[in-house]
Structure 1
Amino acid sequence: MRIALLSYSTKPRGGVVHTLALAEALAALGEDVTVWTLGRGGDQSFFRPVDPAVGLRVVPFPDGPDGESVGKRILRSIGTLREAFSPRAAEYDIVHAQDCVSANAAGRCVRTVHHLDHFTTPELAACHERAIVEPYAHICVSAAVAAELGAGWGIEAEVIPNGVAYERFAAAADDTAGRDRWHDRLGRYVLTVGGIEPRKGSIDLLEAYGLLRPRHPHRRLVIAGGETLFDYRDYRTRWDERAAGLGIEPVVLGAVPDDDLPSLVAAADAFAFPSVKEGFGLAAMEALAANVPLVARDLPVLREVFGPAARFAETPAAFATELDHALSAEDPARRSAGRRLAARHTWTAAASRHLDFYGSLR
């Protein structure tokens, strides 16, 4: 089967991590897989090496004019990817888009809906709507998102959970040297992985850390994360102002090299996941694989995915309390549950289920 997987970026965002891991697992099962994406900022390859069994098509996407709006950048992204891909689309048995931009560019396609957004910018709202209603088949990575899709649009989606690179993160849990390197650089810390943006609950995390810090004054707040297409400068300004008002100096690492990520996660004393909207929570599952206690936002989707392996909180005050428990009280049963849960989520199983679904469409 010839399969095209389409994404919007080469950077380490969750949907891109998913796309590459799925592509490699499909190729390992003997399928002919090509990943198409946009190369922003001069990128000619992805943030990490990709198995050579996977074909790569990185479409150059030059920077736009100064002052280009988010809406115009989205439309230009769609147009650029469509222009490159459309002449080749007929070569594939399955065209599978992984996000709003690539679904708009792909034409007739399968779509993975990782999570649902609500936009007010007209171009974004239209892009989001088309990327839901126009694909002929849909996959969701959790039942909670599939239920949202059914309730809002009457669309029935196949539920195929993410895999996780369990071995990489589990091995990092036993890498004392790697952990020591991060502790020498950062001290002891609470970690989150994700951009500083509204969807990630970044300001709530600041508030929670401000409440936590008197109880754990020597633990820092560390934030790692990649790029997003959207312009969150105003939100980042508010985040910076709130951090200053609380007297907090979080460590913002930005995108961490892929080889360094497992040891960064494994060296954390706790992993905070305060997102207000998620489809699965891959970064949090990686933390469980690395044997790190997880505190997550109390959302139906995260209850579904993590169950007894995580602590849950809704408000900043509750987040601070649960982080305090995670830092203060060893919970071997919860940690063991987390590692067992992560180990069950393999990319081989996810790829096999994708192939079964593709086969049902032909």
Structure 2
Amino acid sequence: MKALRIAVLTHSTNPRGGVAHCLALAEALCALGHEAVVHAPDPSGRGFFREAGCPTVSVAAEPVGGATVDLVRTRIHDYLRHFASPAACAFDVFHAHDGIGGNALATLKHRRRIPDFVRTVHHVDNFADPVLAGWQDRAVREAGRLLCVSRLWADWIRGAIGAEAGIVGNGVDLSVYRDAPDGADAAVRARWGLGPSPVVLSVGGFEERKNTLGIIEAFARLRTRYPEAQLVIVGGASLLDHAAYRARCRAALDAAGLTVGLGAAVIETGPVPQAEMPALYRRADLLAFPSWTEGFGLCVLEAMACGTPAIVSDRPPFTEYLAPTDALRVDPADPNAIADAMAAALVPQTRARLRAAGLARAAAQTWRACAERHGAAYAACTRREPIPA
């Protein structure tokens, strides 16, 4: 395939799985000889959450207060304003990774500013607001080519709209996520007050689809066996409003007598720099990730690459790319089963088995292979000159 100039659009500059996917994919595409430029609305003006080995564009974004629908509408308009000039549209391929970018590109397509676009569907949300639901649907239906990171969502697309989606998967950067300690490990332990007792890591903040309540309830049960265990909840940057669910989680913590703070039973870090994540994975005795809904679950590969056992839901997409021996699978609706899996992951023999399997699984998932899988979709959407209005 000839070298292409590719505009990759994501929804924010924050450390979310979809944003991390875009940056790593673009870096791999650049290594293959393309020019992949990652775009994101950036109201803070601080740029992406990590330094990127690919070109990036921080799209000027208006400050927004109020409801999620107002935020999404504004971010779509931010993109439309950015791509108003011919120079900004000088790409061979346009590739959206979310509904915000997808709606902007659909509008540009209708305005004949671009010929078509590729859309990766990482996962689909259940929006009660009909406007948000409509935007999500439009961003899928109007794409010229569809991609998914797992079979789960490719099957959903076939059933929901009768379209076919290619499966591109995910990858992990083994030069960043590795099991060998480095200078960051001691600093990260000290910064968050992580002691020698078992540490359970949860990635994604307080979010319903991440099953944070189930993790909290399971961790409370684990503390009856390991009274000094700590739960570290990382991340949480999101465009969606999770305040009500967060309040339920805090009530569950209070009811269980679990204090929150540095060095406490539960440590809430918020978003952390990528440079700290490998050290957090390495210090953790296990990653608890029994999600209700995932596109792929990129943090599972990251944890495995760092030698950390993972607990996942016994459902797709995890059952697609993980063998039964790679991780501990649980019913996400059963806090007792999650607690038992947490305890099992602390048994030395089980830890050794999961560590070896996880390292092998992570090593087999490369961003280069992921980038190469995009070739057919990109070739089909190779940019033509816009049709004159």
| Common fold by TM > 0.5 | yes
Matched, 1:208 2:218: yes
Are 1:174 and 2:177 matched, yes or no? no
Q: Is the 8 A contact 2:5 2:93 kept in 1?
A: yes
1:4 aligns with 2:7: yes
Identity of aligned residues (%): 36
- Conserved in 2, the CA contact under 8 Å of 1:191 and 1:222? yes
* Aligned ranges 1:75-86 → 2 under 5 Å: 75-86=73-84
Letter in 2 for 1:175: P
TM-score (norm 2): 0.87
Q: Which amino acid aligns with 1:186?
A: L
Match of 1:31 in 2: 34
What does residue range 34-49 of structure 1 map to in structure 2 within 5 Å?
A: 34-40=37-43, 42-49=44-51
SS in 2 for 1:96: strand
Say if 1:169 and 1:266, in contact at 8 Å, map to a contact too: no
Whole-angstrom CA distance in 1 between matches of 2:243 and 2:236: 15
1:86, distance to aligned residue in structure 2 (A):
4.3
Check the 8 A contact 2:64/2:70 in 1, yes or no.
no
Question: What is the identity, as a one-letter code, of the residue corresponding to 2:73?
Answer: L
Larger Rg: 2
Q: Does 1:267 align with 2:283?
A: yes
**Contact kept? 2:6, 2:36, Cα under 8 Å:** yes
Equivalent positions of 1:45-56 (< 5 A) are 45-51=47-53, 54-56=54-56
1:17 lines up with 2:23 in the alignment: no
2:96 — aligned with what?
97
1:350 to 355, 370, 373: 370
Over 4 Å off, 4+ runs: none
Partner Cα distance (2:366, 2:33) in 1: 17
Aligned to 1:323: 342
Q: 1:123 aligns with which of 131, 139, 144?
A: 131
Aligned partner letter, 1:34? V
Matched length: 355
2:253 paired with 1:243: yes
Query: CA 1:59/1:90 → structure 2, altered by over 3 Å: closer, same or farther?
Result: closer
The whole-number CA distance in structure 1 between the counterparts of 2:8 and 2:91 is: 10
RMSD over aligned Cα, in angstroms? 1.6
Q: Does 1:191 align with 2:197?
A: no
Structure showing the higher helix proportion among its residues: 1
What's 1:337 paired with? 357
| Structure 2 CA distance for partners of 1:178 and 1:2, relative to 1, 3 Å | closer
Deviates more, 1:79-88 or 1:194-203: 79-88
| Deviation (angstroms), 1:274 | 2.0
Q: When the two structures are superposed, what TM-score results if normalisation uses the length of structure 1? A: 0.94
The Cα offsets for residues 161-189 of structure 1, whole Å up to 9 and x where unpaired, read as 1111123211xx22165444444421141
Q: 1:188-238 CA distances to partner (integer Å, 9 max, x unpaired)?
A: 411011121111111111111111111111210001114110111111111
Q: Which residue of the partner structure matches residue 263 of structure 2?
A: none
3-state DSSP of counterpart to 2:201: strand
Cα distance change, pair 183–58 in 1 and its aligned pair in 2 (3 A): closer
